Structure 1
Amino acid sequence: MTIKSSFAKTSGRFSYWFLHTFMQGGSSLPGQIATKIDPAVLKDLTKNYDVIIITGTNGKTLTTALTVQILKQKYQNIMTNSTGSNMMQGITTAFLAHRPQKGQRDLAILEVDEANVEPLCRYIEPKAIVMTNIFRDQMDRFGEIYTTYNKILDGVKLVPNTTLIMNADVPLFSSVELPNPKLYYGFNHLPDGELLAPSNTDGVLCPICEHIIHYKFITYSSQGKFYCPNCGFKRPELMDQVTAINELRPTSSSFEINQEPFAISIGGMYNIYNALAAYSIGRFLDVDVADIQAAFTSNKKIFGRQEVIQVKDKEVTLVLVKNPVGLNQVLQMIESDPEDFSLAMLLNANYADGIDTSWIWDGEFESLLKSGIPTIITGGERRDDITFRLKVAGVTEQQLQETADLDATLRAIENAPTKHVYVLATYTAVLQLRKKMADHNYIKKGMSV
């Protein structure tokens, strides 16, 4: 350890203690301070850790949380960036805040922003890198899906001995020859057929020859059992697979992995993918199947991921949305609710959300008309954009209730005509709404439920 590194760690840890103790914060700034003093401080901070990186467009936070729940069945001292601060300064802060056990290697499970895989891999050699999916997201930062994948690859190429645990249903992930050991997971729950993805879907072209890719079945978007009739590129063999989906409800899912039964207390097929990724990580680290089953039923809710918050007499389900694929999966999930519900949509366009809001036009809001929703509340800093989009979708003036600020949004939720209200919100809108709920004592302050 150098003097500079020691000073960087001491400064970072002191700032974390102060911010965490007196400000209920400190998820990013301590890491920023430490790396300002020593840009390579992570190399020293991580020297006694085995690190698992989880990256991709959607599902990083839930996959990370489920993975931690699984690994707690076997490992005692696990470090993770549970606040969701997944860029370099936030990851550095997480290591500064954690106290490793002396005389042994600890385990670090890290949610990592796609563009931060490469700078992180300059300082550490992860035990595994997990890739969840690639969709259009934050176009101002990433552009198209190929740009996003290349950012991840830039990091992977620095660590050729790291095992790659990848979603095999995403064609991009097996399109580049890499020397790394590879484990693939995916779905195998339907009989083979013959179909194409809709023309406006991300990644409909073969990444090898640019012919239109074909599918034996599709789970959602461009994911599924794919093959190219032109060049022979096809989905790789699966190590772990969803072999059946038994029930999908807005608040729960039951399914089978490798013919073994599992259940999670969260809805949506996209979340079964997250559970499958976490399962694959658990098995990679030799956690027993029975322990994984138990971990999935521990019923811990994750910040912004289908949290259920009691607001007076209303059950409010808060769901993060940030791109059209994720949004459409959430809409499909809530439409399966057999009970009446109201809906709120809060749209911000800050850097953490993505400043380009054009993605809402690819959201299938027209499907809402089938659900007979009595009240649809709009809010957020870009409320005019989402209100107009919903009007174009056919939502009536009688249904729509536009709110000028978060106080008005919360009042509208409190006065909704149904007991259950789904709130779909972008990242900074989730933070702002949770702070407002904390001010009204509906939840505790900070990131945890």
Structure 2
Amino acid sequence: MSIRGALAVTVGKGTQWALRTFTKGGTSLPGKLAAKIDPGVLAQLAKDYEVVIVTGTNGKTLTTSLTYHVLKQKYPDIVTNPTGANMAQGIVSTFLEKTSGSGKKIAILEVDEASLIHVTKYIKPRFIVNTNVFRDQMDRFGEIYTIYDKMVEGAALAPEAVIIANGDSPIFNSRKLVNQSIYFGFNHTDDGETMAHYNTDGVLCPNCHSILHYKFNTYANLGKYYCPNCDFKRPELKYQVTAIENLDYKSSSFQIDGYPFHIKVAGLYNIYNALAAYSVGREFGLSPEEIQAGFTETQQKFGRQETIKVGDKLIILNLIKNPVGLNQIIALLNYERDPFSVSLILNDRPADGTDISWIWDGEFERLTDFNIPYVGVSGIRRDDMELRLKVAGISEATMEKTESIGDVINSFQHAPTEKIYVMATYTAILNLRKELADQGYIQERMK
């Protein structure tokens, strides 16, 4: 390591120690300082690691966690970024945090789509996992094709990396890449004939621009697609979900390649995350039994159906950031058999996305399918959320608008149900967890 690199590592590690010792800690600042001293420090820190990068719009955090716990069954010396610090400086901090270990060194890294190019400039991963591409943070990313352009550009800097892509997503089969690609997807039902919902992005054939048809459609633009006017269709799948056995509000049972699996989170979208992690595990030579053991060890992640006890109430936290993710979370309510209330918190800080127009594409109207006695509304853009819910048909008599996070927690106490589903943007969940920690309901904060 160069003198400049050694200085960068020393400053970064020293900053991490100071933050842990004198504050609540931090994830990105040490990496930011280290990279300022030596922009190439990431290449030096990661040079002995076999790296898997997980990127895409939705599912990065849980896919990374599942993959980490799967590979831990065979490889004990693994580094990852569990707090979701997924931009370049956060990745540097992740490696600074790692102490020396023995055996094969592996890194499982969640990487922001727009930051991929800044990571692959220095790290040449063995695999890049592409989860999906949906409209997200329009102020930052633009449309889905702009997002995918960034992902393709980042992958091209590591041409030897194999892309493990969601084959059910048409965009991942829309162009020729310099990277080798293998695909995972669903083959859990008989073929039929359907089309995606009319308000769905990414359903135009990249060759002839006809609207894609589907033999089956799992959700959004995902499924067994084909173009009725040319030869564009879903690629051959190497790994596939072959059966859905049970879905409820807190878990999922299914088969992949004929083997049974169970995860402690709900929803088809999380089965996709498990399938991605399974695909990586199989590429590393793990058995289905080892992969299931990894799934079993995976803990609830920040804002991903995370359950917190607040007095006599059970709070289920769900991160919302785009229409597709919101719609899948609302779909989970179909599995709930107990009475429940809903609390919606909408912020528009940079980490949330400052463009909140996406709430008008989210299917809030589906909330009227449930007998919800109480709907809380809060956040910086609470007035916008209140208006959206009124347009969706939510009764004003059931709605309560609160200003502060403290008021939100107080509202939990007088909600008429034991269970409360919280749907909140990123900084709103951070603020909520901070306040819950301050009040003693949880022991640690997300940094």
TM-score between the two structures when normalised by the length of structure 1: 0.98
Alignment match, 1:237: 236
Alignment match, 1:307: 306
Alignment match, 1:272: 271
Alignment match, 1:17: 17
Which is further off, 202-211 or 264-273?
202-211
Partners of 2:334 and 2:27 in 1: CA distance? 35
Q: How far off is 1:178 after superposition? A: 2.0
Which is further off, 429-438 or 204-213?
204-213
Which is further off, 5-14 or 179-188?
179-188
Partners of 2:395 and 2:13 in 1: CA distance? 53
Alignment match, 2:411: 412
Q: Deviating runs (4+, > 6 A) in structure 1?
A: none
SS at the partner of 2:218?
strand
Alignment match, 1:429: 428
SS at the partner of 2:92?
helix
Contact 1:267 1:333 in 2 (8 A): yes
Partners of 1:151 and 1:178 in 2: CA distance? 13
Partners of 1:105 and 1:121 in 2: CA distance? 21
Contact 2:77 2:104 in 1 (8 A): no
Alignment match, 1:378: 377
Alignment match, 2:319: 320
Alignment match, 1:203: 202
Deviation string, structure 1 residues 326-353 (Cα, Å, up to 9, x no partner): 0000001023211100100111111111
TM-score between the two structures when normalised by the length of structure 2: 0.98
Contact 1:54 1:109 in 2 (8 A): yes
Contact 2:242 2:258 in 1 (8 A): yes
Contact 2:116 2:154 in 1 (8 A): yes
Which is further off, 172-181 or 251-260?
172-181
Letter aligned with residue 46 of structure 2 = T
Q: How far off is 1:291 after superposition? A: 1.0
Partners of 1:195 and 1:252 in 2: CA distance? 28
Q: How far off is 1:298 after superposition? A: 2.6
Q: 1:341 to 1:214 in 2, by over 3 A?
A: same
SS at the partner of 2:377?
strand
Contact 2:250 2:264 in 1 (8 A): yes
SS at the partner of 1:211?
coil
Which is further off, 93-102 or 158-167?
93-102
Unmatched segments (≥5 aa) in structure 1: none
Contact 1:55 1:113 in 2 (8 A): yes
Q: 1:198 to 1:413 in 2, by over 3 A?
A: same
Partners of 1:100 and 1:151 in 2: CA distance? 33
Alignment match, 2:68: 68
Deviation string, structure 1 residues 249-300 (Cα, Å, up to 9, x no partner): 1111111111111111111110010010011011111111101112222351
Deviation string, structure 1 residues 389-409 (Cα, Å, up to 9, x no partner): 111111112110111111110
Identical-residue share of aligned pairs (%): 53
Deviation string, structure 1 residues 403-435 (Cα, Å, up to 9, x no partner): 111111000012211111110111110100000
Letter aligned with residue 56 of structure 1 = G
Deviation string, structure 1 residues 224-263 (Cα, Å, up to 9, x no partner): 0011122201111111101111111111111111111111
- Does residue 122 in structure 1 map to residue 125 in structure 2? no
- Does residue 34 in structure 1 map to residue 73 in structure 2? no
Contact 1:335 1:368 in 2 (8 A): no
Partners of 1:235 and 1:299 in 2: CA distance? 31
RMSD: 1.1
Letter aligned with residue 53 of structure 2 = I
Letter aligned with residue 58 of structure 2 = N
SS at the partner of 1:404?
coil
Alignment match, 1:219: 218
- Does residue 282 in structure 1 map to residue 281 in structure 2? yes
Deviation string, structure 1 residues 42-69 (Cα, Å, up to 9, x no partner): 0111011111000000000000011111
Contact 1:316 1:421 in 2 (8 A): yes
Partners of 2:218 and 2:414 in 1: CA distance? 37
Contact 2:193 2:215 in 1 (8 A): yes
Contact 1:378 1:387 in 2 (8 A): yes
Alignment match, 1:2: 2
Partners of 2:124 and 2:436 in 1: CA distance? 41
Partners of 1:43 and 1:294 in 2: CA distance? 32
Letter aligned with residue 342 of structure 2 = L
Letter aligned with residue 416 of structure 2 = P
SS at the partner of 1:133?
coil
Alignment match, 2:164: 165
Contact 1:100 1:106 in 2 (8 A): no
Deviation string, structure 1 residues 348-394 (Cα, Å, up to 9, x no partner): 11111100001111111111111110000011111111111111111
SS at the partner of 1:344?
strand
Question: What pairs up with 1:334-413 in 2 under 5 angstroms?
Answer: 334-413=333-412
Letter aligned with residue 181 of structure 1 = Q
Partners of 1:140 and 1:335 in 2: CA distance? 32
Partners of 2:207 and 2:321 in 1: CA distance? 29
Question: What pairs up with 1:165-204 in 2 under 5 angstroms?
Answer: 165-204=164-203
Which is further off, 215-224 or 286-295?
286-295
Letter aligned with residue 68 of structure 1 = Y
Partners of 2:245 and 2:7 in 1: CA distance? 55
Q: How far off is 1:315 after superposition? A: 0.7
Letter aligned with residue 216 of structure 1 = K
